[in-house]
Structure 1
């Protein structure tokens, strides 16, 4: 009896692992602009294969500096497969290297804006049952990824209907010697105009009509990016651009982002459902 029970437990555990593993894939996608393959984690809702006629909204999740394509699921929020099923969303976690998600003006081999907002989105829409319009597409990230999400959303309002940032480096100018940014922009001292052009806060007012892009910004009150997020919030208010702005106790940590993503997915779900 004990042997049969143990076998049953082992079988159920194996079955659960198999079903869970089917929802998460790591795929390589060719970037013609960079002439190399980029790794991406794709997370599908559990009912994706059953509901052949259903299309799903897609949330692009960008990692921070020093991270990679699997940082979201390994370090930030291991429950992403469950959340994909709970919210009925596809999650796409691309590798952004340390690029800050720019097309670098000084390094032609680093073109992550083109990759994510053209090559990757095209691939996802052609190979998955995504809602292939801004109404079904959101982007967010933490730290460098928060900068990247707003950078891409502000510059490509035809692609993203909603965007978020968690502890984002939304103004890079106070940090001219940090996080390898000068490798992609040149030094601030020699290239101040390039730095002015490649920071999120200077993209305001963005090209989309006021209110078209749904925005949520979150930053801990003890974060070293708190002041730049506060300035972004004030500039959004100045231009009367609607947005949710969340300040909570916390700093620049994975535990903060693990909590923050819950607020952002709730916000994105309300956006998707409202259309």
Structure 2
């Protein structure tokens, strides 16, 4: 009986210690020279940030029609992961319907350059970060899942790990949806542009283990088929990756769960790269 009480006491103290940790949430204003405007982002640092050395960073992207505050408002509590994994999380604003491209037709939508260059430079200047790909990961949901893999594949010198939750990973299947034609032209008129701007068309940029990859999609999600197809193509090409499917639809309850797996995967990648 004494041993059980003792162990319970230790567990309780550890629990209290864990609960006492509190992520530090800042909303920052960044300037995009390429778009000539100010853009907000959320930066979440661990409770021990003031005494920490250089920390890894995960860039967490929002979905279509959302903004930089979406993750905090709709998945409250996820930010505690910065204390669990001793990392920084950055939630950029990706515009209403950017798909995180540099739009060839709309100069006000240059979010590939903003996230992969301007924002990364800002975060590395203002925060104690690991300033290379070994300490950077990027993931997101839906439009942001596409954006995260798109940016990770195109900028493997910047990001060492890429993830996706319920991502629209083959935009060619949805030529009339989500304002994509406003950003890159109509698929019927510019098919080559769509080929160059879909994750499914960028697999030639990958070599085995050049990029750590984790992909997650619920079996009830309308993007499930394109995720299954991408998984099959990665297997065919011999590209290692983690692939998760489970019951769930295109919804916040699914993403609030999925993000924990994504951040655990990123943390494992950072720890491996630090050795």
Normalised to the residue count of structure 1, the TM-score between the two structures is 0.89
Q: What is the CA distance between 1:21 and its match in structure 2?
A: 8.3
Q: What is the CA distance between 1:187 and its match in structure 2?
A: 1.3
Aligned to 1:265: 263
Aligned to 2:5: none
The number of equivalent residue pairs is 253
Q: How does 1:206-221 map to 2 (within 5 A)?
A: 206-207=205-206, 209-221=207-219
Q: How does 1:149-160 map to 2 (within 5 A)?
A: 149-160=148-159
Post-superposition CA distance 1:45-100 (Å, at most 9, x none): 0110133xx1110000000001100001111x211332111110100000001100
- Show structure 1 runs of 4+ deviating over 3 A: 19-22
Matched, 1:57 2:56: yes
Q: Is the 8 A contact 2:68 2:91 kept in 1?
A: yes
Whole-angstrom distance in 1 between the partners of 2:195 and 2:162: 22
Aligned to 1:10: none
Matched, 1:251 2:252: no
Normalised to the residue count of structure 2, the TM-score between the two structures is 0.89
Whole-angstrom distance in 2 between the partners of 1:56 and 1:223: 34
Aligned to 1:25: 26
Mark the runs of 5 or more structure 1 residues left unpaired by the alignment.
Answer: 1-18
Q: 1:105 to 1:20 in 2, by over 3 A?
A: farther
Aligned to 1:4: none
Aligned to 1:8: none
Q: What is the CA distance between 1:20 and its match in structure 2?
A: 8.3
Aligned to 1:71: 70
Q: What is the CA distance between 1:269 and its match in structure 2?
A: 1.1
Secondary structure at the aligned position of 1:38 is classed as strand
Q: Is the 8 A contact 1:43 1:80 kept in 2?
A: no
Whole-angstrom distance in 2 between the partners of 1:179 and 1:105: 17
Aligned to 1:201: 200
